[in-house]
Amino acid sequence: MTTVLLADDNIYMRNLLKRILIESGYDVAGEASNGNEAIDQYLRLQPEILLLDIVMNEGKVAKTGLDALKTIMEKDPQAKVIICSALDENNLINEAMKAGAKAFVIKPFEPEKLLEALAMCTDLRVLTELGNIGAGRAATVLS
């Protein structure tokens, strides 16, 4: 079961996301209400996917979800982060994608769009694992 961390300052949105995820077979590993909590929870729980809002309450380290994204990507370049935000600005989307986000889902969203983004991240994980297995076998053959 794929583990997901939810980071959004709106409890209604976290509850909605949690319900969609659980009904779709995902395991909600934890929740965060600001960028600092998102960083701390991500590092502690090591979820497979992080759903991250851009505009959240400010913390001491992360002023926005974008700050949290950058910090998380510095600490774990393989992190699979999906931005889920009401801000539909091309420059913000581009900045998030350049910082390492794998997808950007605009609120209000259709559950199918969110699930497609999650499936894409899950598929990336599977492909990475297959690549690692293949590389291990190649190394064994070469030795």
Write down the pLDDT at residue 69.
96
What is the rounded distance in angstroms from the CA atom of residue 28 to the CA atom of residue 3?
Answer: 6
Write down the pLDDT at residue 108.
85
Write down the pLDDT at residue 121.
84
Write down the pLDDT at residue 17.
95
Domains of the chain listed by start with CATH number: 3-142 (3.40.50.2300)
Q: Which residues of the chain have pLDDT under 70?
A: 59, 61, 123-143
Write down the pLDDT at residue 87.
76
Peptide bond into 47 cis (omega under 30): no
